[in-house]
Chain A
């Protein structure tokens, strides 16, 4: 399977704990995105990387959130001191990063976070 891979698929954590999600993008894709989705809503953009550089962050990404892509391949999203409002599906996606309109973004299966 050469699609976007995310793990863990499900995580239940107590409020105040830290969690980390990992994403492996499609191998030739240089652009990597993180989105968050809550029930009844479409995915919302959090941040994106062009290779190893984090170039844009949404205002949704509070100081408790940090994302890395150390070698321009896989990425991690860490949430510190989790709150119940962080409960959501965290989606990773990747694309070739073309500037033109043909930049199709492919999503992984998501990581469900439940904060209790």
Chain B
């Protein structure tokens, strides 16, 4: 049972345009959501997070939106840059689970120059 789903395995975007990566979850106990960026042969790098008490969090070019009723979150990157090309993982944690993370399967973002 996949509790965190990233239904788009890949996304291509032109440099300077907006990248929107989506993530859905099924476990209503999740209250903290994170996005990680991963290059090949490296560990995931923390990007941005959001608590369930918020619906938006912004950090520079990165904004995460949370829609609790739809159990959906998205990561917006504006403007997209070629260096953003990587695999992006959505992850979630719940109280009482040692705050361990449940990950989606990732979306490969390619930003075309």
A95 to B102, CA, bound (A): 15
Q: Known: A101-B32, A101-B51. Contact between A45 and B101, CB under 8 A?
A: yes
Residue numbers of B with Cβ under 8 A of A are 4, 31-32, 34, 36, 41-46, 49, 51-53, 89, 91, 93, 95, 98-106
Closest B residue to A101 by beta carbon equals B32
Instruction: Report whether B104 and A42 are in contact in the complex, using a CB–CB cutoff of 8 Å.
Output: yes
A-B contact pairs, 5 of them (CB 8 A): A41-B105, A43-B44, A89-B43, A101-B51, A101-B93
Residue numbers of A with Cβ under 8 A of B are 4, 6, 31, 33, 35, 40-45, 48, 50, 55-56, 89, 91, 93, 95, 97-99, 101-110, 112
Residues of A within 8 A of B99 (CB): 31, 95, 97-99, 103, 105
Instruction: Report whether B32 and A108 are in contact in the complex, using a CB–CB cutoff of 8 Å.
Output: no
Instruction: Report whether A110 and B91 are in contact in the complex, using a CB–CB cutoff of 8 Å.
Output: no
Residues of B within 8 A of A43 (CB): 44, 89, 101, 103
Instruction: Report whether A108 and B43 are in contact in the complex, using a CB–CB cutoff of 8 Å.
Output: yes
Q: Known: A31-B99, A106-B46. Contact between A112 and B34, CB under 8 A?
A: no
A110 to B39, CA, bound (A): 12
A114 to B99, CA, bound (A): 29
